[in-house]
Amino acid sequence: MTRTFAGRKLWRIPQQGMVKGVCAGIAHYLDVPVKLVRVITVLSLFFGLFFFVLLAYIALTFVLDPMPAGAEEGEVSPDSRELLNAVDQQLAAGEERLRAMERYVTSDAFSLRSRFRQL
């Protein structure tokens, strides 16, 4: 599950993380140093928010997807509209090939060739 914030997505970054990469993902999302997010998390654990922070960290571990390779280098993943357009174009091309095949199978040339093969 990813959320957008000014064009950015919230990921888990296990490659940069100490445990599961949740703090690294939050730091990347908010564009702050990872150490700052880790310090805030540890301080929150000690100052009365232990259960809440632990529960949120575990939940985010399972809810957030790991960052795919190449997402950090600036590769922009296509949005749903672009993906649907690409699938629509592929389906239209497949339908055109199917129609051409159907025209050939129902043509007189096909039936003539199949009769010659039977001889």
Sequence spans of domains, the chain: 1-76, 78-119
Predicted pLDDT at 77: 64
2-6: long-range contacts (C-beta < 8 A, 24 or more apart)? 2/64, 2/65, 5/29
pLDDT digits (tens, 9 = 90+) for 43-87: 988 888 888 888 988 998 898 878 777 666 555 566 788 889 999
> Amino acid identity, residue 38?
R
User: What is the per-residue pLDDT for 6?
Assistant: 56
Interatomic CA distance for residues 43 and 18, integer angstroms: 16
Segment 6-24 shows an average pLDDT of 78
